[in-house]
Amino acid sequence: MLKIQRSANSRVVFTLSGRIEAEDVNGLGQLLALEKAGQHVVLDLRDVTLVNQDALKFLAGCDAENCPAYIREWIAQVKGRSKRRRTR
């Protein structure tokens, strides 16, 4: 189960907690799309406990903060695979 909290000041922060599953990616993308163009939006992943492959691909394209080290490493691996595919 994924819990999302939104807060805003000079930037919008979505604090995520729980599991990010494939079915959560579309909803999260829709939430981000509702923000004003040019608004700095950040995902706080400090309390995320599990991420599946589809969610990792999505997160690799986002501005994420407070990632647990293992999630940061997984995102880096996804980004590395994407770069290798583009350079071939």
The share of the chain scoring above pLDDT 90, in percent, equals 42
**Range with the lowest mean pLDDT among 51-55, 69-73, 80-84?**
80-84
Please check the confidence at residue 61 and state whether its pLDDT lies above 90.
no
pLDDT band at 86 (very low <50, low <70, confident <90, very high): low
For residue 39, list its beta bridge partners: none
Q: Return left, alpha or beta for 64; rule: phi > 0 is left, psi -120 to 50 is alpha, else beta.
A: beta
How high is the pLDDT of residue 75?
87
User: What pLDDT, in 10s, does the model give residues 28-46?
Assistant: 999 999 999 888 899 999 9
